[in-house]
Structure 1
C-alpha cells in the first residue's frame, strides 16, 4: 500500500518538476446541442489556460443536476450555470461566488412557442385552451426552460400540472424543445431566447410548423460561478485573475469564443443578482 501511495505522488509531480500543478476543471449545464457545447468549452479552456498559466480541462455533464453535483464534489472549480442551478450550487457550497455574466443575462427572457395553426397568441389564449393542449418544458432545473416559465404561467392563472391535457414533458434541452413542437409531438413549448433566436436566424425553424407567441418579462439568468477555495489551491490572487480573464474576452480577439456563448462579452456579477431567482424557486417548492 505504501509503495502505491509513493508512486501516485511521484506521478502527480513528474510533469511539474516535483511540485504538483493543480488542474482547473470547468463545465456548464448541457442546455443545447452537445457538439456546440464541446466546441465552446474546448476553445474557452485553451484561452483560460493561456491567461492563467494552469492546465484547464473541460468536464462534460449528462444533465443539469450533474453539473451542480460535480461542482459540490469539487470535480468542477468553475461552472457556467443557469440562474437556478447557480443558486442551487451556491446554497450547497457556502462561499462560492457568481463572478461574471453575459451582459444580456441581466435581462434574459423565455420564449413560448406553439404549433402553427393553433389560435394561441397570448397566455390568456393559452389559459382558455390549455385543457386540450400539451406542453413541454426543457430541463426541470432550467431557469429559462422551466422555472421562470412555470412562474409566469402561474401568475397568469395556469397550473402546468393540472390545466393541460397531460402532465408537462421535460425535453432536457432547449434545442429539443423547439424540435418537439415543430415535429408535432407537443402543442406548446418554452425555451431560452438565445437558443430560439439562433435556430430561427440559422434557418433551422420551419415557420409553417411552429411560431413564437409570447416573450416573458426579463430576469437574471446565466453566470460563471467559482468555488470558494481557488486562492488556496491555485495561489494568492488567482480568483481575481480568473475574473479578469473572463472580463477580458472581447469580440476583436476572441470572437469565436464569444459567439459560442451567444454574447459580445462578460461583465461582473455577484450572488445578490440571483436573489429573486432563489425566491421564485422557493415559492414554487423547487428549492427548499
Structure 2
C-alpha cells in the first residue's frame, strides 16, 4: 500500500517535475555554462573561463546598477510592508464591508506592470502630473520626480505601493488566525490597542510577516518592467536613466541590446548569489524574531 501510494504521488507531481527540469533547472545549468563563454547568439559560444566575472567586477555600471537596486529595495520593502500591515489592521476591524475592501485593495495587483510604468510618467510628471498638481493645491512645489536623480527612486517606490493588495490579503488572513483569547487576556491586563499590537499581534503574525518580507525583497531586487517602461522604453533621453538603471535592466541591455549573452549570464548568477545571501541573512535573523505556533522555544 505504501509503495503504491508513493508511485501515485510521483505521478501526480511528475508534470511539475518535468516543468521544473525543462524550464528552470536546465536553463540555470546552461546559463552557468554561458557565463563562462563569449556568446552573441549569432556565433557559437567561445569558452573564456572566468573573464566575464572579472569584467563585471571591474564594470562601473554593475556597481551603479547594484547600488540603485539595493537603495530601492531598502526604501520599497519597509514602505510596502508597513502600508500593507496598516490596511490589514483596518480591514480586520471591518465587519460587513471587509469583503468589498479586500477585493478593492487586490484589484490593482492585476494591473500590468507596463501600465504601471506609463502611469508613473503621467502621475509623477514634474510639470503636469497629478501628484504635483495636488501638492500645489496645498502650497507645496512638487519635485521633478522623473528627471531629478534624487526623486526617481522615491517615485518608483510610491508607484509600487499601487500593488500592495496581495500582501494585505496575506496579512489579513494571518490576523484572522490570531486567537481572540490572547486579546481578551491583554485587555484584562489593561493593554491598549498599540500595546496589544506590539505584544500580541506582531509576534503571532511574525511568520507571515517574514514570508512577505522575503518575497517582496526578492521582487524588489528583480525590479524591471515598471522602471524600464518609464525610463528606458519611452525613447525620451531627458530622463535620469542612471538613477533608474537597476540591475535587471542592465542585465537585459547586455543580453538583448548588445547581445553579450555570456556577460549577461554572469550578471544573472551574481544577482542569484546576492539574493541568496540576503535571503540567508533574513532566515538567520528570523530564528530570533519569528514565532511559529507549536515552537518549543
Range into which the TM-score falls when normalised by the shorter chain? under 0.3
Give the TM-score of the pair, scaled to structure 1: 0.23
Structure with larger Rg: 2
User: What is the TM-score of this pair, normalised by structure 2?
Assistant: 0.23
